[in-house]
Structure 1
Amino acid sequence: MTIRLRAHHLLCMLTYVGKGYTPAFTANYDVIAGRLSRGEDIVIVEGPDDVCAPLLSDPEAHCLNASVLERDAQAARDVGDLLGRRIGAGERIALDAILLEKLRSGFAAGLTRTACVGCEWAGLCTDIVGDAYAGVKVGGPPC
């Protein structure tokens, strides 16, 4: 199977430690984190993805907001610049330990955090980076 991710979730997955908007959201993300850790492929989508799924029954779901689409666009630019390749809808990504380390290094250096400006989780992510990614659920902390 393939995991459908919107571009900014390429950043969120780096620091995911089991915290989220609702219990259903975190339970779903825990399953996705396990799949990512086992090396399941990613396909980038525009708009709501597999992570967003538990929130979409709410008519006010923030996943549908224009600001989130802009967050996706910025994340796609930053991650694309970091990796030297296009990141956009339909692109497939094989997440392995080397790519995960490159993404985490870029995130820690602030190279891919433009999309995080104004995010309610940015402080938590900064703390996780400062703690060398301890407790993350996707792939574990870097070696």
Structure 2
Amino acid sequence: MTIRLRAHHLLCLLTYVGKGYSPAFTVNYDAIARRLSRGEDILLVSGPDDICAPLLDGPEPHCLNESVVERDRLAARDAGDLLARPIQPGLRLDLDAAVLARLRQAFSVGGVRKACHGCEWNELCSAIAAGGFAETKVQRSIAPRRP
């Protein structure tokens, strides 16, 4: 299976520790984090994605706001510059251990944080990054090489 993500969620998943907008949101995100950790690939989409799904039934879901679309634009630009590839809808991305580590390193020094400006989770994410991303739910390990 493939996980559908909007661009700014590439940044959000770096610091996800199990907190969210509602219990349903957190249960859904936990399941997505497990799938990412097992190596499922990502399909970049425009607009609401698999993480947004539990919020779409509520009144005025914020994932449809123009400010969120702008977060996607900024995150796509910064992540694309870092990864040396265009981050755009339709791209399939393998979030392997090396890519995850590269994104987290850039996130921790502010290199891919323009999309985070004004986000209500910004302080929490900063604290998680400052703590070395301990207890984050998305984890990938580099498989040992065979001789």
Q: Could you state the TM-score of these two structures normalised by the residue count of structure 2? A: 0.94
Q: 1:59 Cα deviation (Å)?
A: 2.9
> Is the 2:52–2:63 Cα contact (8 Å) retained in structure 1?
yes
**Would you say 1:71 and 2:71 are equivalent positions?**
yes
Q: What are the within-5 Å matches in structure 2 for residues 1-143 of structure 1?
A: 1-139=1-139
Could you tell me which residue of structure 1 aligns to residue 145 of structure 2?
Answer: none
CA RMSD of aligned residues (A): 1.3
Letter in 2 for 1:4: R
Secondary structure at the residue paired with 2:31? helix
> Structure 2 unaligned runs (5+)?
142-147
Secondary structure at the residue paired with 1:110? coil
In 2, Cα distance between equivalents of 1:22 and 1:59: 14
Q: Could you state the TM-score of these two structures normalised by the residue count of structure 1? A: 0.97
In 1, Cα distance between equivalents of 2:70 and 2:38: 30
> Structure 1 unaligned runs (5+)?
none
In 1, Cα distance between equivalents of 2:67 and 2:8: 12
Identity across the alignment (%):
65
Q: 1:90 Cα deviation (Å)?
A: 0.4
